[in-house]
Structure 1
Amino acid sequence: MAKKQQPRRNETSSTGDDAGYHVPVLLAESMEALNIRPDGIYVDCTFGGGGHSSVILQHLGPKGRLVAFDQDEDARQNLPDDDRLLFVPHNFRYLQRFLRLNGITEVDGILADLGVSSHQFDEADRGFSTRFDAALDMRMDRRQELTALDIISTYTELQLHKLFEQYGEVTNAKTLARTIVQRRTNVPMKTIEGFKQAIRDIVKGNPHKYFAQVFQALRMEVNDETGALKDMLQQSPKLLRPGGRVAIISFHSIEDRLVKNFFRRGSFEEPEENPFANNEPEPEFNIITRKPVTAGDEELKRNPRSRSAKLRVAEKR
């Protein structure tokens, strides 16, 4: 038997105990987008503080089910005592594998809130934030081996150039990559402060913004964030029932573009400008959001992190 449901709370506020761990963005909008059925099966790919999950559970009846993924072991502390919830402590790129291991072949909705949780930024020893001095780590899943220090220490100049350019949109990505390679054997870069000091003389513009872009690029590479997103999106059409919805909240232009292209064409590439080409496959989704949904003024005041959030939603045909 499912636990007795609590009275439904205001869906635009933080729910449960997530406020100190992570404030969910576009909460009301994503819940509306999922069009939740009380007896449906739903997936929260990024459980985090449990903010989105707690509201999904409020919508579900006794027969509904929620599968929550999170590769960060810290997320376990936020699990509610609810036997309708199945927690999977792995990356959502393995979505289909773990659903099938638990006897689930189809679901009614998939939600993913990409990026980093407030908790991960606020935990100094995780190495995500430029505000603290700690080891250059940045692993969301601390079981994996690759860290930000490994990237700084071993990547070639070309590899570093490309990742800073693509993932961080760093203005002088080439100079940054060359500087790291030239100095890493003689200048200590094992910590956040050491790394920042090693490259401080080539910083362009606002230092806070510059380092934020550099750290974003390293984090995305450490955790293969775009690769995991692609893997999950490719599995979603096979897992969703007809009429089921997938809702993705992204914070980076690369991620938003991947989601948009996949929803529209089932691929991640931009279409070729060929007016005579007519060989695109029939799309598997109906687009629910022609333009991405963004945060309103009230949410922007309450949670500045929502400023760059974009929600896209599609429905399985």
Structure 2
Amino acid sequence: MDLLRSLPIGLYLEQPQTWMHKLDPRVKFIWLMSFLTTYLFANNLWRILLVGLLIAMTLIARIPRRVWQQQMGWLLMLCFFVLVIGAVTPDGLGISYQPRLPSAGVVKVNPQTTPQATAAPKLENSTKSSKDYKYTLFEAGPVRVTRRSLNLSIRLSTILFTVIYSTNLYLLTTAPEEITSAMENLMQPLKRFKVPVTEITLTLTLSLRFIPLVLEEIQNLIRSVMTRAINWKKLGLKGGAKVWLLVAERLLQNLLLRADQMANAMTVRGFTSPNEHRVEWYELKMRSRDWWAILILVAFWGVRFVIGNEA
């Protein structure tokens, strides 16, 4: 079991270098924010298109299959279960839908009067359209799928996939140093309001560097438990819970130890403040492909306002 290879969540893919790696980190960050904000007040069609667009971008970028297969597969499976469970659960309304127009047999039409004769076809058409509308889409025993429950399940499952996978795709194709430089460059106007931009970006860099250490510690502890060949049936539920509590306690101790080692390493190197020890991590420079990405982003927002607005 190798979590760093089988499930590389939040890790940077150094090789191979795809076209997404070569984009400016600021442009990729704006794209990420667009994915997370266009979802607001959007219809279900746009939400499903966002999921399809993220999958298509992964395939077009030619990211190795070993990198995205498991994490995308598990995430799609999770979203599918959320969709099914959300669709069959009660929608919270608890109503029995009744048509607002009377049935066709109740309407009496006098053929001798011209206005009523001309209005009868219109009333029949409206009655037919009202019959076509069904609030309950599927019902079989205790299972009942309504329009509202299906709408809520689509919203929940698509936002779960969009938020998690778009962020993971950004971290997968952008080095921590590039993210730090992009964030610091975009947050420069906040310095006028005395916001500690440099300290925030330094904390972000350390947290991104700390993700592989967390996965490594979890992996080592799971391997240590597996190699001891514990008889879980003999321990029972209470004994198994005690073992995993000890593992969680040991994990917390190891992570605190790693954090203390990083702090000591910075202290030994004479680090006192980010402003006095500035390091240029990455050279930010806009190229032609970045401008093309911005133009596509403008078209992306245009399509969002044309077909993505919620009715």
**Which structure's relative contact order is higher, taking Cα pairs within 8 Å and 6+ residues apart?**
2
Fold similarity call, TM over 0.5: no
Greater CA radius of gyration, 1 or 2? 2
TM, length-normalised to structure 1: 0.26
TM, length-normalised to structure 2: 0.26
**Larger helix proportion of the pair:** 2
